[in-house]
Amino acid sequence: MDTSNSHEIMENETTPLVPTKSSKKLKTPLPKLQIGILISLHLAEPIASTSIFPYINQLIRELGITGGDDAAVGYYAGIIESLFFAAQALTVLRWGRLSDRIGRKPVLVIGLSGACISILCFGLSTTFWSLVISRCLCGLLNGNVGVMKTMMGELTDSTNMAQAFALFPIIWSIGGFIGPLIGGTLARPQDRWPALFANGFWGKFPYFLPCAVAACLFVLAVFVMSIFLEETLPTKRRPKSTSAMLGISSDELLPQQSMAYTPLRSLLTPSVVIPIVNYALLALLDISFRALLPLLFSTPTHLGGLGFDPATIGSWLALFGITSGIFQALFFARIIDWIGPKRVFCVSVSCYVPLMVMFPIMSWIVRAGGEVDHAITFALLCLTGMQLAWNMAFGAIFMFITASAPTNNVLGAINGLGQTSASAARVVGPTLATSLFAVSKEHNLLGGNAVFVVLIVLAGGLRWLASQLPDEVQDRDE
């Protein structure tokens, strides 16, 4: 008896307290139909938001807001691009919390419908204030991105999350390809196809056509979602689907439903706050880059820009979008599996510095050569390669934010909080970047490059914040 007891003690002492990771978890198959529908809905967002980029600076000039001062276009472009995010920051958390109570689909219907109406209003705008109202309306009614990320989190677990969340940057990249093409090609159709668009309407509203095309996509998205997309909030799914698909018993639904009413302050733990702060600063730097790029493209060469027309701007932005989408589709999940989400995020954010350095290099090339030549084309291709790595940061940080939620029934609140922080950062980003760009050029601060120095310093802060993220992404039930 003593021998058996001693043998049992020896066994207990040699058994590891933490299971070894000798075998990896098997990947859970993705619910391809539902994720495919969700991603299709999401595509309408980046198409609509990026379709205005090729012509927004020209629109501001034509409205006479700047009084003929080309250097001041950046101020107003930054304000208009920031207004959407300012309005969104005020309401997106409320939309996220509402989705935890009434379900994800009703909130998506409101958001997509609001985006449709607002983009039509934007196309019919003939004054600065009508542009302001349309952008604010879009932001106030739009909680779509946060809710879609929440639904993606509810459809996945830690074994297949990288595959699923890689789709968000891919969709933004595809939208970043299609949107500028639509905006650059269809803007001012009466100039391109005078026989087809001879009606005086197109002379009065020269930028309505790309907005109308974007609005049609939102109408299609609402139709597809209403018929085919299933609700993912456990307390709002049909009882049979809830237990079969998500493995949640009816006894668990009541406490989970009460979690939806948890005070927000109790959710602000370090494991939640650190990924959200990283996301906010990432969004600030990214939107600054995306606001500066078309501004550099459209600024006259004598001010250090490239002097591109809207069609050329649209073509280059489309190239950036499609190359990023292909890269994310082919390599993101594999790279995550290879080196892990934290290393991917750290490497990606480190690429921002060379990304910013390319801007003054291109300005110097134009000033030295006096024209846009093959050297600028080569520089833009280098810029394309750098932004491939930078864009991977979004898929990685979405994984950390989703994993930080303690249960699915507060996932809407967590994603809403993340989207609120990102929206607030995106309010500051375009205004900060475009205003600094204008001031740098007007007063020749640091040779006109002060804006890039400021953004590089902020990128250093993001790299430090990235080091504070947890080493691994875990399931919420672990």
Query: Helices 104-123 and 73-102 meet at what angle, rounded to 10?
Result: 160
Half-sphere exposure of 433 (CA within 13 A, CB side): 30
Give the chain's count of helices (H) and strands (E). Answer: 22, 0
Whether the CB-CB separation of 413 and 93 falls below 8 Å is answered with yes
Cα 314 to Cα 294: distance, rounded to the nearest angstrom: 9
pTM: 0.70
pLDDT of residue 258: 45
Cα 433 to Cα 443: distance, rounded to the nearest angstrom: 15
Cα 320 to Cα 294: distance, rounded to the nearest angstrom: 12
CB count within 10 Å of CB 108 equals 24
Phi-psi category of residue 387: left, alpha or beta, with phi > 0 → left and psi -120 to 50 → alpha: alpha
For 185, the token pair is 């090609």
Q: Is the dihedral of CA 393, 394, 395, 396 positive or negative?
A: positive
pLDDT of residue 475: 58
State the DSSP code for 160.
T
Cα 319 to Cα 238: distance, rounded to the nearest angstrom: 44
Whether the CB-CB separation of 76 and 65 falls below 8 Å is answered with yes
pLDDT of residue 292: 82
pLDDT of residue 460: 92
Phi-psi category of residue 438: left, alpha or beta, with phi > 0 → left and psi -120 to 50 → alpha: alpha
Residue in 364, 361, 421, 368 with CA at minimum distance from that of residue 386: 361
pLDDT of residue 187: 87
Q: Strands, DSSP E only, in 321-364?
A: none
Cα 301 to Cα 306: distance, rounded to the nearest angstrom: 5
Whether the CB-CB separation of 120 and 137 falls below 8 Å is answered with no
CB count within 10 Å of CB 36 equals 13
Cα 125 to Cα 383: distance, rounded to the nearest angstrom: 34
pLDDT of residue 22: 42
Whether the CB-CB separation of 105 and 225 falls below 8 Å is answered with yes
Element at 61 (helix H, strand E): helix 53-63
Local confidence pLDDT in tens for the 478 residues of the chain: 454 554 444 444 444 444 444 445 677 788 888 888 888 888 888 888 778 878 888 888 888 777 777 667 767 777 777 787 788 888 888 888 888 888 889 999 998 998 899 999 998 988 888 888 998 888 888 778 788 888 888 888 777 777 787 777 778 777 777 888 888 888 888 888 888 888 888 888 898 999 999 999 899 989 988 888 888 887 766 654 443 444 444 444 444 444 445 666 767 778 888 899 999 999 999 988 888 887 778 777 777 677 777 777 777 877 887 788 788 878 887 888 888 888 999 999 999 998 888 888 887 887 777 666 788 888 888 888 888 888 888 888 888 887 787 766 677 778 788 888 888 888 787 778 877 877 877 777 777 678 888 889 999 999 999 988 887 776 554 4
Cα 24 to Cα 337: distance, rounded to the nearest angstrom: 11
pLDDT of residue 253: 43
Cα 349 to Cα 342: distance, rounded to the nearest angstrom: 11
Whether the CB-CB separation of 474 and 463 falls below 8 Å is answered with no
User: How is 257-322 classified by DSSP, letter by letter?
Assistant: HHHTT--GGGG--HHHHHHHHHHHHHHHHHHHHHHHHHHHHHS-GGGTS----HHHHHHHHHHHHH
